[in-house]
Structure 1
Amino acid sequence: MPIQDYGVWKARPVTYQFEYDADDHISPHLSLFFDDGQDNRSSRPQHEARQPDHYKHRHGGKPPPSIPGLNRAAINIKSGDKKESRLVFWINRNFQENPMVNNLSELDSGFKLLENEEAASGLLRLDLIRGNLFNVDSGRLLPHDIEGPNNDMIDVLEPEVKKAIEEDAEIYLFGEQFNSRDGIHNCHMNQGNSKKYQKDDGVFQDGGLLIHYPSSGQWVGVFMGFASQAVHTDEDSGHAISSETWADYLSSTSDRADLIENSVSIDEVQPEEDSQTRRKSVTLTNRTDHKIPLSTWKVKNSAGHSQTLPSNAELNAKATDAFDISNVDFSTIADTATLLNEKGLKVDGVSYNSHPGKVHGQSVVFAQ
Structure 2
Amino acid sequence: MPLGNYGVWKAHPVKYDVERQARKPHLTLYFRDNGGGNSHAAINIKSGDQESRLVYWVNEDMNDHPLETALSGLKTGFHRLDDSDTEPDPSGLRLDYIRGNLFDVNAGRILPHDIHRPNNDIIDVLEPRLKQAIYEGAAVYIYGEQYHSKDGIHNVHMNQGNTSIPRYSGENGVFQDGALIFHFPETDKWIGLFFAFASQAVHTSEDEGRAILLSRVTWKDLLLDDLIENSVAIRRALVNPPQGQQQQFVTLTNLTDRKLSLARWKIRNSEWAQQVLPKGAALDARATEDFAIPHCQLSTAGDTITLLNRDALKVAGVSYSSRMQKGPIVFAG
- TM bucket (normalised to shorter chain) is over 0.9
Q: Does 1:245 align with 2:218?
A: yes
**2:202 paired residue number:** 231
Which of 113, 121, 145 lines up with 2:80 in the alignment? 113
CA distances 1:297-356 after superposition (whole Å, capped 9, x unpaired): 000000111011133211011111111112211012300000000000000000011244
Q: Partners of 1:260 and 1:156 in 2: how far apart?
A: 25
Q: Does 1:28 align with 2:22?
A: no
Q: Does 1:330 align with 2:303?
A: no
Q: Partners of 2:178 and 2:123 in 1: how far apart?
A: 18
Decide which structure has the larger Cα Rg and report it: 1
**In terms of mean alpha carbon deviation, does 152-161 or 117-126 score higher?**
117-126
Q: Partners of 2:79 and 2:219 in 1: how far apart?
A: 30
Task: Please show how residues 1-368 of structure 1 align to structure 2 within 5 Å.
Answer: 1-20=1-20, 23-24=21-22, 26-39=23-36, 69-82=37-50, 84-117=51-84, 119-121=88-90, 123-194=92-163, 195-196=165-166, 197-241=168-212, 242-251=215-224, 253-254=225-226, 259=227, 261-275=229-243, 277-356=245-324, 361=327, 363-368=328-333
Letter in 2 for 1:27: K
Structure 1: gaps (5+ residues): 40-68
Q: Partners of 1:272 and 1:310 in 2: how far apart?
A: 24
Q: Partners of 2:63 and 2:112 in 1: how far apart?
A: 29
Give the match's secondary structure for 2:170. helix
Letter in 2 for 1:347: V
Q: Partners of 1:338 and 1:123 in 2: how far apart?
A: 16
Q: Partners of 1:288 and 1:161 in 2: how far apart?
A: 40
Give the match's secondary structure for 1:130. coil
Aligned residues: 327
The answer to whether the 8 A contact 1:334-1:352 is kept is yes
Scaled by the length of structure 2, the TM-score of the pair is 0.95
Letter in 2 for 1:188: H
CA 1:97–1:114 in structure 2 vs 1: closer, same or farther (change >3 Å)?
A: same
Q: Aligned residues: percent identity?
A: 53
CA 1:125–1:119 in structure 2 vs 1: closer, same or farther (change >3 Å)?
A: farther
Q: Partners of 2:301 and 2:289 in 1: how far apart?
A: 24
Q: What's the CA shift for 1:367?
A: 1.0
Structure 2: gaps (5+ residues): none
Q: What's the CA shift for 1:111?
A: 0.4
The answer to whether the 8 A contact 2:70-2:91 is kept is no
Q: What's the CA shift for 1:280?
A: 1.3
**1:50 paired residue number:** none
Scaled by the length of structure 1, the TM-score of the pair is 0.86
CA 1:325–1:298 in structure 2 vs 1: closer, same or farther (change >3 Å)?
A: same
Letter in 2 for 1:365: V
Q: Partners of 1:286 and 1:119 in 2: how far apart?
A: 29
The answer to whether the 8 A contact 1:104-1:124 is kept is yes
CA distances 1:195-246 after superposition (whole Å, capped 9, x unpaired): 5211000000000000001111110000000000000000010000031000
